[in-house]
């Protein structure tokens, strides 16, 4: 079988290109630390890597959602704690107003204190977080309570709907609250109506009305305590959830590393071997290109 110069040259160049490609591949592995950089490197492993990256993206999204929910609930928890403080002060003021030895000026001072506490409760109930109201239910863009022209407080303007954030495939956390659950619940009147009555009762030294108002304030206090307990439980659960998500991401990254990362010892050895083969191929090409027609006629 006769081998022509052109066919021999083609075979030599093909060997050179193959050696160069092998060397380049090993050099990429060593420089990047990755065994797989394109689907053609290992289609099965590439597909597995895509699945793992999708899982990482999901975990990251849930982690961001958990952080957002935590921020919102932390604000709610702070507001609820302040409501408890204000309602405790209001109860103490009513008890002071029940004293039979208070003068008219002292009763007026107590009434003014209760008005200030009522306004503070109004402000707390209208707390916003990133442009939405915490205590309007699902109507986050509407203020839950409004100030009427006569200075009184409107009825609840929100609804009983919930806004929930998914923090896992099977778990969501409520991040909005029905303001009427706090201010009224199952009571006959809301806390703002109670404030109006006890303020008038203190000014008029109406012992019966003050006693009724004190009972209503205690009911509001208990409602806020219950809601804050639920918020505290959710915050603890979110803290645990962020820990689980962190562990899930670490495990997924470990699996992805096993799929994609190069064994550096093997890659360096392969690069050295590929370089030797490439240099040999270069030498063969150089030798072939130096042959003359007389060499073929011998």
Domain spans of the chain, in order of start: 5-35+262-297, 52-254
Q: What is the CA radius of gyration of the chain?
A: 38
Any idea which residue has 């921020």 for tokens? 71
* Residue/partner pairs of 226-233 with CB below 8 Å, 24 or more apart: 227/80, 227/177, 227/181, 227/182, 228/77, 228/80, 228/81, 228/84, 231/73, 231/76, 231/77, 231/80, 232/77
Measured CA to CA, the distance from residue 6 to residue 135 in angstroms comes to: 84
Per the CB < 8 A criterion, the answer to whether 117 and 220 are in contact is no
* Average pLDDT per block of 10 residues along the chain, 298 residues long: 52 59 59 68 82 91 94 96 97 88 89 96 96 94 94 93 90 94 94 96 94 96 96 95 92 83 61 64 61 50
pLDDT at 18: 61
Looking at domain 52-254, its CATH superfamily turns out to be f41 fragment of flagellin, N-terminal domain (1.20.1330.10)
pLDDT at 139: 93
Q: Is the dihedral of CA 198, 199, 202, 205 positive or negative?
A: negative
Per the CB < 8 A criterion, the answer to whether 52 and 255 are in contact is yes
Which residues on adjacent β-strands are paired with residue 44? none
Instruction: Please list the alpha-helical segments (H only) found in 127-206.
Output: 179-183, 191-204
Any idea which residue has 């203190």 for tokens? 202
Phi, psi of 27 (to 5 degrees): -65, -40
- Strands in 110-233 per DSSP E: 128-129, 132-133, 164-168, 171-174
- Strands in 134-268 per DSSP E: 164-168, 171-174
pLDDT at 1: 45
pLDDT at 21: 60
| Length of the chain (residues) | 298
Kindly provide the b/e burial profile for residues 82-94, where b requires at least 16 CB atoms within 10 angstroms of the residue's own CB: bbeebbeebbebb
What is the bridge-based pairing of β-strands 171-174 and 164-168? antiparallel
Q: Is the dihedral of CA 248, 249, 253, 254 positive or negative?
A: negative
pLDDT at 272: 64
> Could you report how far apart the first and last alpha carbons of the chain are, in Å?
17
CB contact set of 81 (below 8 Å; sequence gap of 6+): 228
């Amino acid at each position: 079988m006769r081998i022509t110069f052109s066919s021999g040259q083609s075979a030599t160049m093909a060997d050179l290109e193959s050696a160069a490609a092998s060397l380049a591949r090993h050099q990429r592995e060593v420089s990047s630390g990755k065994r797989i950089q394109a689907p053609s490197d290992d289609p099965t492993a590439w597909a597995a890597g895509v699945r793992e990256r999708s899982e990482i993206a999901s975990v990251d999204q849930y982690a961001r959602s958990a952080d957002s929910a935590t921020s919102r609930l932390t604000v709610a928890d702070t507001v609820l704690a302040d409501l408890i403080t204000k309602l405790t002060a209001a109860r103490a003021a009513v008890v002071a107003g029940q004293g039979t030895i208070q003068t008219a000026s002292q009763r007026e001072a107590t009434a003014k204190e209760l008005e200030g506490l009522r306004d503070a409760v109004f402000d707390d109930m209208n707390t916003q977080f990133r442009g939405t109201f915490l205590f309007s239910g699902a109507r986050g863009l509407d203020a839950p309570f409004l100030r009427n022209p006569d200075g009184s407080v409107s009825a609840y303007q929100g609804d009983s709907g919930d806004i929930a954030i998914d923090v896992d495939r099977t778990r969501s956390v409520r991040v909005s609250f029905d303001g009427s659950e706090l201010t009224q619940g199952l009571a006959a009147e809301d806390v703002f109506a109670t404030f109006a009555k006890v303020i008038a009762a203190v000014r008029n030294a109406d012992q019966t009305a003050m006693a009724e108002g004190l009972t209503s304030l205690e009911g509001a206090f208990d409602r806020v305590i219950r809601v804050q307990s639920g918020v505290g439980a959710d915050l603890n659960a979110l803290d645990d959830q962020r820990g689980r998500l962190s562990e899930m991401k670490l495990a997924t990254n470990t699996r992805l590393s096993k799929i994609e990362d190069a064994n550096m010892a093997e890659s360096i050895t392969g690069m050295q071997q590929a370089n030797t083969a490439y240099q040999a191929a270069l030498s063969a090409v150089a030798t072939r290109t130096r042959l003359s027609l007389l060499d073929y006629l011998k």
